Every structure is written in C-alpha cells, then in structure tokens.
Chain A
Amino acid sequence: MKVLKITKEDLAKGLDTLNKSFRLIGPVKDKDEEFHNFEELGQGELPDFNFRNTRLSPKSIVYPQSEKMFEYTLDSNDPEHDILIEVKKEPSPQVVVGIRPCDAKAFSLVKLNFDTPEYKDPYWLRRFEATTLLGLACHNPCSSCFCASAGSGPFNTESLDMLLVEEQGGYLAQVLTKKGEELAHTAGWTDEAGSDAQKQIDTMKEAAEKRIKSQISTDNLKNKLDMEIYEEPYWEDVSFSCINCGTCTYLCPTCWCFDVQDETCGNCGIRMRNWDSCMYPLFSLHGSGHNPRGEKLHRVRQRFMHKLKYYVDKYDSGIQCVGCGRCVNHCPVNIDIRRVCELMNRSEVCPVTTE
C-alpha cells in the first residue's frame, strides 16, 4: 500500500482541483456554531477538520432522507398515463472529504442490506459506486466513542479509498483502493512518504486506540437464543423513558429503513422513498389496523434486537453498529446502547439457592 505525504497547502490545492470534476462534500460548521455536518463544498471552500463527529451521519450522501424514484401522470390524455416511469438519474461522481473511519465502515454494514445476491438496490448502489471516501483518522476520539469494540476503530480503513492521518504540518495519506489512486492522481498528490511512514501511522493508530475509554462486550450475543433475550424482563426498564422519536435512527449511520410514498399534485405525481424509523408506531401498522409492535416496549426492543442480535445472526457478522456514539449523546432521554448491549450480552448464571 502506498503512503503519500500531503502538506496542508497541497490538500487545499488538490481539493480545489477535485472540485472541478467532483461534487465535494465535507464537514462544515453550522452557522449557529453548535455542530458540524457534511455539506457540499463550493469552489474554493475548504472542509473544516476541527470536529469530532458530525451531528448527522454522512449516510444521507449515499442514501438521502427523501429520494424520488418514479414519476407518473394521471392525465388520461397522456399516452404514458398511469405508468410509473423511473427517474433517470446518473449520480455525479462525488468525494466525501474527511469522513471518519466509523462512518465509512457503516457503509459496509449497510451494503449487506442494499447489495445482496438476490436484490440490488439501484439507488443506493449507483450512488455508492459514484462516491469516493477520503477518510480522516481520529486522533482524539470522544469519550462516548466505542468504535474499537464495535468492529471499527479510529484508524479503521474498511470502505475507505484513502485515509488522511494528520501529522505536523500536513498529512500522511494511505491510498487504499484503485479509486483512491485515481483520486490522488487527479488531485496531484504524488509525493511518496518515507519508508517509515507506515510505522509512524501504526504508532499513531495505537495511541488513538488507547484513548478510547468506552467499550462494549458482544461476545455472547451470537450464542444466545433470540427468545432468551426477547423475553428478558429488563425491556420494561430499558424502554420506559423512550419517547419514540426518530433521533437514534435518523442520526445512526447504519439505520437503513425506509418507507415508500406517492405524492400527487394535480395530475402529476412522484413515488419516493423516505427514511423511516422503527421507533414510530406507523412503521409497523398493518392495513387492517393491527399493530404487531403496538407498544413502545416492542419498538425499543426491536431496534436493539435488530442491531445487536438479528443482524449478527442473519449476516453471521458483528453488530449493526460502528460505535460512533451519536445515539448515546443525542438520545433526548439518555437511552444508552452501551448499557443495553451489556444487558443483552451478559451471561446468565443460575443463582445458587441456599435453602
């Protein structure tokens, strides 16, 4: 793997060049100065790397909150009336600059859902393929980050095409894929770093990993039976405070559920998909009026079971969580997935009776 050396000036210059042929998206501080989010960068606009985690995850760059899929007309004089016509949209090539390794890793978890041998989601896949991920390693993870025990890490390279590692005066850049190579070439980043660069990166990686204080244990999740966890009495306690808002699911980089809606105005209409949330009662409401997840306990349990148990079983993989900590920090009532995971993972030992 090639490691490049990029000065801060070269980064700015390279991004300027890239901005001519790519849609550039990077972390930008919101104008009320409370948080960063990923926004499209205008010509000459630079990403602001002075951030920990963006408030919203960058999943919407590949998977927008609302997305038009089809158009139709109800005008019976129109030869194409009542026919759903796919919205032809070739996504323009885009680069996400400064994406954190956890958020990039999230794309690989979500891909398992949108890209299966049986079904391929053209909207997600086309956009993902048109996207190059230029990551930014995390030197100072937040106190609520638990990426290292959630299958990711502050220097994790999964899904990334390049990884920038900040060092004095500039960056060391790992070129990880062919897309990454092309990106570096187009940007004019060609200076190879010295032979000890990889070693330098490894040292910084180790130091960053040591700074992660928050951990979860997931080792027992796979071996436990669904029903064993499902029927645990703690769900009442876990779900009590939940207000069933969509904060956790909408901020989460790995939540992928959507709802399909038709919207008609006059004779014209569109079919679109919008993010949906398993926290909403409407999510599982049947046409009959019956709701299999009619209580908030059912909905809260579903979210954690999906992320920490069903996903693990279905894909024979780790959990559907990268440990970014967004839900931990922004749940309005402080429901903490780390605490729930500990409950779900704990091994039951039959109490010894002394009688």
Chain B
Amino acid sequence: MLEYTEKIREISQKLLKDSKVDMVIGFRKGTVPMMNEPTFIRNANEVGQLIWDSNCGINLANYLTGRKEKIGIVAKGCDSRNIVVHLVENKVNRDNLHIIGVPCKGMIDRRKIGVIYGEEILNVVEDGEKIVVEGDGDEKVYDKKDVLQENCAICIHRNPVIYDELVADLVEEQKDVDRYEDVRKIESMPPDEKWAYFEGLLKNCIRCYACRNACPLCYCPTCFVDESRPQWVGKSIDPVDTRTFHFLRAYHCAGRCTDCGACERVCPVGINVRAFTKKLEKDVKELYDWEIGLDPNVRPPLDVYKTQDPEDFIK
C-alpha cells in the first residue's frame, strides 16, 4: 500500500503545482485503528498527509456533489462508478475532474475484525495480504480476504471504470462471483419470517441518517424525511417511520446503487443496510441486465422511456 500512497502524493503534488486542480480529495491517516478521514489538500506542500490503505472505505464521490472547483479525486472502483452516476445525473462536470484511479483489492471490515479479535484493538498493520492486529490480547494475523467488507468480497469492479491516471497497474477482477446468495436466502423466506428478518434488522436504528448521508446517491436538497411542509414521515423512532425511511431510501437508490458499502460501513449500530439496496440491485440486473456506473453516456433503465419498450403497461 506504501507504493499506492507514494504515487497518490506524487500525482497530487504535480496536479497542485501545475495548477491543474484547485484541490485534491483523498484520505488522511485516522486517529483510531482501521479508520481514515476524507480530506482535501489545496497546497502542494501538504500532499504528505494523503495516504492509502485498506481503511479507505468511505465513498469519496460523496464529496464531489455540487462542487464547482477543479478537483483531483482519489477513486477506487466503486468511487469511480459513483462518479459516473454523478456525471449521468449532472451532479458534477467531467471537465472539472482529474480522477486518480486506484485499483482496489477491497477494504477491511472494522466491525468484523473487532468481533473476531474480541479484545480492544490498539493497532492494525497491513502486510501485503495479511492483516496484523495488535491489542489487549495476543497479536493475531488474518488473511485480508477473510476480513473484507462484505461488498468488497463480492465486488466485480475493483478497477476504476473511469480515470485520468492510475496509481498502479490494474488488478485482476474477481470472476464467477455469486453476488446475490444472501438476497436469494431472504427471497426464499416465508412472509412472516421475512417480516421478522427486516424487523430484526432495524431494531437498533436510531435514525441518525449516517447511511443516507454517507451515500453519494443521497443528494436531494431536502430528503423526504426532512420535508416539513407537508411532513411525510414521523420523526420519532416508531418502527413504522423507521421502516418507511429505510424502505423508501432503498427504492430511491434502485438501479443507481453501486453497492459501495458506505451505508453499512458507517452505521453506528451495525445495521446490515445493504440488505435493502441489494434486492433492488438484483432486480434491476435481472429485469434490465443493467449494472450502474459503468458508462457515463448511457442513462439508467429507470429514467429512460423507449417507444419499443416491451412492457404493455407503459404504452
């Protein structure tokens, strides 16, 4: 990862020095284990703050929304796909972007490692494909592939789909991945079990909206849950309102979600938020053979009308 970091700094320094961009958006080292903080660098002398490792799971496309400056942005596969979504949805101008592509081998799951290590973690070091965890218990070494975020473990677009330069050679994409094993499991449940599953999923929700706010797709000027004239959704933690929020948000992301996993990563109470969006991703794949965020010149199926549409209801 050190090579990635050095290359990101080198590219960023050049971009800033040559005034090609006003700022570079990337990550700086976090203050607690397995956390990095999204940051911006305006001064070429400060590029030393930028780093790259397996704790860069936040989707940086979220920081582009509505910005007018010329921006250099560090983008792994999913970030780049969300940049494409932003381009398609006119949230950012391609001419203002210099995309520093990062071929990615997945981000590690802080929560999962916390659970399997069991004690307080004081430091985590990456050593190639190994993750070394130091803490109150004995030092433990895990294979990175065993502690990946779930969305990374089944990712089929690790390489940036759009970029101006790359920090390293492209990595091999994962083949023969079964992306929807978990969705099929839920689909096969009888209704009452399904109901109980989703009820259980949301029992800890505190309506903090971290999932929504970490999502690059959620850029509505006023979210439907914040609308007050009229108010659509109650603001208490009544389960009906909590469900309304999660279900509707998922539908708003149908055919747009890249499964970057930011929503799940940021949830402070460990809700498996992707359980909502993935079913819709699967449906869109099966109904329209569509994967979002691969081509900025093609509009997604749910926002186009075609006269030759085979479905009767639309005619």
Interface of A with B (CB < 8 Å)? Answer: 30, 32-35, 37, 52, 55-56, 65-66, 140, 142-144, 237, 240-241, 243-247, 250-251, 259, 261, 263, 272, 274, 277, 280-282, 328-330, 332-336, 338-339
Cβ distance B25 to chain A, nearest Cβ, rounded Å: 9
Q: List 8 A-B contacts (CB under 8 A).
A: A32-B270, A34-B270, A37-B204, A247-B210, A247-B266, A261-B234, A261-B235, A336-B31
Number of residues on chain B facing chain A (CB within 8 A): 39
Q: Is the CB–CB distance between B213 and A144 below 8 Å? A: no
Instruction: List, in ascending order, chain A residues with CB within 8 A of B31's CB.
Output: 328, 334, 336, 338-339
Instruction: List, in ascending order, chain A residues with CB within 8 A of B235's CB.
Output: 259, 261, 274
Cβ distance B70 to chain A, nearest Cβ, rounded Å: 17
Q: Is the CB–CB distance between B36 and A334 below 8 Å? A: yes
Q: How far is B147's CA from A238's CA once the two chains are assembled, in angstroms?
A: 30
Q: Is the CB–CB distance between B237 and A66 below 8 Å? A: yes
With known contacts A32-B270, A333-B37, A245–B236 Cβ distance under 8 A:
no
Instruction: List, in ascending order, chain B residues with CB within 8 A of A56's CB.
Output: 206, 269
Q: Is the CB–CB distance between A334 and B37 below 8 Å? A: yes
Q: Is the CB–CB distance between B266 and A243 below 8 Å? A: yes
Number of interchain pairs (Cβ within 8 Å): 106
Cβ of B64 under 8 Å from chain A? no
Cβ distance B155 to chain A, nearest Cβ, rounded Å: 20
Cβ of B308 under 8 Å from chain A? no
Q: How far is B25's CA from A333's CA once the two chains are assembled, in angstroms?
A: 14
Q: How far is B206's CA from A245's CA once the two chains are assembled, in angstroms?
A: 11
Cβ distance A287 to chain B, nearest Cβ, rounded Å: 10
Q: Which 6 A-B pairs have the closest CB atoms?
A: A332-B266, A66-B236, A245-B210, A246-B208, A243-B213, A241-B38
Give which listed residue, A52, A244, A274, A333, contacts B58 with CB less than 8 A. Answer: A333
Q: Is the CB–CB distance between A272 and B226 below 8 Å? A: no
Cβ of B32 under 8 Å from chain A? yes
Q: Is the CB–CB distance between B32 and A246 below 8 Å? A: no
Q: Is the CB–CB distance between B226 and A34 below 8 Å? A: no
Instruction: List, in ascending order, chain A residues with CB within 8 A of B62's CB.
Output: 243
Interface of B with A (CB < 8 Å)? Answer: 30-32, 35-40, 58, 62-63, 111, 114-115, 120, 122, 136, 204, 206-210, 212-214, 226, 228, 234-238, 265-266, 268-270
Q: Is the CB–CB distance between B39 and A237 below 8 Å? A: yes
Q: Is the CB–CB distance between A263 and B40 below 8 Å? A: no
Instruction: List, in ascending order, chain A residues with CB within 8 A of B210's CB.
Output: 243, 245-247, 332
Q: A56-B269, A245-B266, A330-B268 are in contact. List 20 more A-B contacts (CB 8 A).
A: A34-B114, A34-B115, A34-B270, A37-B204, A55-B268, A55-B269, A56-B206, A65-B206, A66-B237, A140-B136, A237-B40, A240-B38, A240-B39, A241-B63, A246-B210, A247-B266, A251-B268, A263-B236, A274-B236, A336-B32
Q: How far is B63's CA from A335's CA once the two chains are assembled, in angstroms?
A: 15
Q: How far is B205's CA from A250's CA once the two chains are assembled, in angstroms?
A: 11
With known contacts A274-B236, A339-B31, A332–B36 Cβ distance under 8 A:
no
| Most chain B beta-carbon contacts within 10 A, residue among A65, A66, A263, A333 | A333
Q: Is the CB–CB distance between B35 and A334 below 8 Å? A: yes
Instruction: List, in ascending order, chain A residues with CB within 8 A of B120's CB.
Output: 52, 142-143
Cβ distance B244 to chain A, nearest Cβ, rounded Å: 13
